[in-house]
Structure 1
């Protein structure tokens, strides 16, 4: 079931996403959160920090599991997703460090790191809410379009378009990692609730394709149509075809 919410401003977009997450934590302080990186959730995290500072929400009993991480970047690299999460959210709220989990992109054996992350997710139990952004090619996490998709966490080679989209964060395209470790489609779809967020004119066609088009591995986000509880938050530009 898809519940589509169209927002009228950047502020409303961020407040809506943060409100959904905060409401979950208020009703279930021990919630297991699946979190995402990228530009889309930054404003949501800023709003969650505000809510925490004003005493409306606490993360002290919650735990988090991130979608993905670049392979080959140390955790303190400016563009590692671990550092992103620390700087954009974790360092500003009361979540316990040991309850925050990001795949290990710096592991000597990435394939083993993927298996270790899969085991970690199995031990955690079902994620209560999985936050997702949406790639221009329909990827969620780093699950790129393919003939078939992998269920559990795994190593993936990034499409050139994905690397180009992320190149603005690096000194040059040559420094953008070629591989990542990501939760698989199966991992994502196991969440009790999925919160998909997209904004901007450049996401309008792909989000319509994902939500209204055929279910196909060539558009990984289209598999969200098979989930029973998906909330989609878009701004007017991204939602123009919905």
Structure 2
């Protein structure tokens, strides 16, 4: 296991900087697996929300091969989904998580978001599922614009009363999907999505945040150094009592040795 080049704390958030995204993913996967084993040792079932994005590839690969986890006692959710894509679209986040994790580890229960159905009904139904019991863990990233899930700046609401809602995606968020290679053109990216809200994510017991790559450097800088505000929704993570940020030298953007 690679050691971090730098560790630190920014208010509440613990930060670990690695040489590259492979070391980042392996270490984050090991840390999340350890937390999951601890949860399973003290309770019958564990409820986890996962992000779906290329930034999570190495992390999910490591988590999927971790030993000693009874995935049959895990209930899995994902945090957002495009509206309007057909059920068989490879760009759907449910497709990503199925192929990168769920079909590998086979959680006991998986709640996928059927976002080709009526959006309001989806939000009500998924909110009911989330409310059934506390969320133990969230495994997430942040956007190039600092978004959490699809809560884009500056309209993200840190006191949002909703559990899940419909949102219009801002241009930076949609362009990121092209930059990530998920869509060929901006016009192909859906304009709307359903997303869990910021308070829903922040209510989880533990947060594991994986953010590799130079494209995220401005977002990481803002997340750690700007005042907590919806101008960069990821800044709110600094207020969570149990949040760990795993990033790499490219994203951190400072000399990790000095």
The TM-score normalised by the length of structure 2 is 0.86
Q: 1:15 maps to which residue?
A: 26
2:204 counterpart (191, 197, 212): 191
- Shift of residue 9, structure 1, vs aligned partner: 3.0
Residues 122-168 of structure 1 deviation map (CA, whole Å, 9 limit, x = unaligned) = 01x22111111111111010001025513421000001111111133
Q: 1:100 maps to which residue?
A: 110
Residues 16-43 of structure 1 deviation map (CA, whole Å, 9 limit, x = unaligned) = 1111221122222322111001111111
1: distance between equivalents of 2:169 and 2:106? 34
Say which is worse superposed, 167-176 or 215-224, in terms of deviation: 167-176
2:37 counterpart (1, 26, 30): 26
- Shift of residue 58, structure 1, vs aligned partner: 3.1
- Shift of residue 56, structure 1, vs aligned partner: 3.5
2:94 counterpart (70, 73, 82): 82
- Shift of residue 173, structure 1, vs aligned partner: 2.3
**Residue 40 in 1 paired to residue 40 in 2?**
no
2: distance between equivalents of 1:147 and 1:75? 28
Residues 75-123 of structure 1 deviation map (CA, whole Å, 9 limit, x = unaligned) = 3211111111111111111313xx112322111x202211221111001
Q: Is the 8 A contact 1:25 1:59 kept in 2?
A: no
2:65 counterpart (50, 57, 73): 50
Residues 195-218 of structure 1 deviation map (CA, whole Å, 9 limit, x = unaligned) = 111111221221121122101111
Point out where structure 1 has 5 or more consecutive residues left out of the alignment: none
- Shift of residue 172, structure 1, vs aligned partner: 2.9
1: distance between equivalents of 2:60 and 2:241? 25
Matches within 5 A, 1:213-232: 213-232=226-245
1:140 counterpart (143, 148, 158): 148
Q: Is the 8 A contact 1:25 1:58 kept in 2?
A: no
2: distance between equivalents of 1:84 and 1:147? 27
User: Relative to structure 1, is the Cα distance of residues 170 and 23 closer, same or farther in structure 2, using a 3 angstrom cutoff?
Assistant: same
Give the root-mean-square deviation of aligned CA atoms: 1.7
The TM-score normalised by the length of structure 1 is 0.91
SS in 2 for 1:40: helix
Q: What count of residue pairs does the alignment treat as equivalent?
A: 235
Q: 2:84 maps to which residue?
A: 72
Q: 1:177 maps to which residue?
A: 190
- Shift of residue 240, structure 1, vs aligned partner: 2.6
1: distance between equivalents of 2:153 and 2:245? 21
Q: Is the 8 A contact 1:58 1:94 kept in 2?
A: no
**Segments of 4+ in structure 1 off by > 4 A?**
none
SS in 1 for 2:220: helix
Matches within 5 A, 1:122-133: 122-123=131-132, 125-133=133-141
Q: Is the 8 A contact 2:13 2:239 kept in 1?
A: no
1: distance between equivalents of 2:37 and 2:156? 38
2: distance between equivalents of 1:139 and 1:44? 19
Q: 1:156 maps to which residue?
A: 167
Q: Is the 8 A contact 2:20 2:250 kept in 1?
A: no
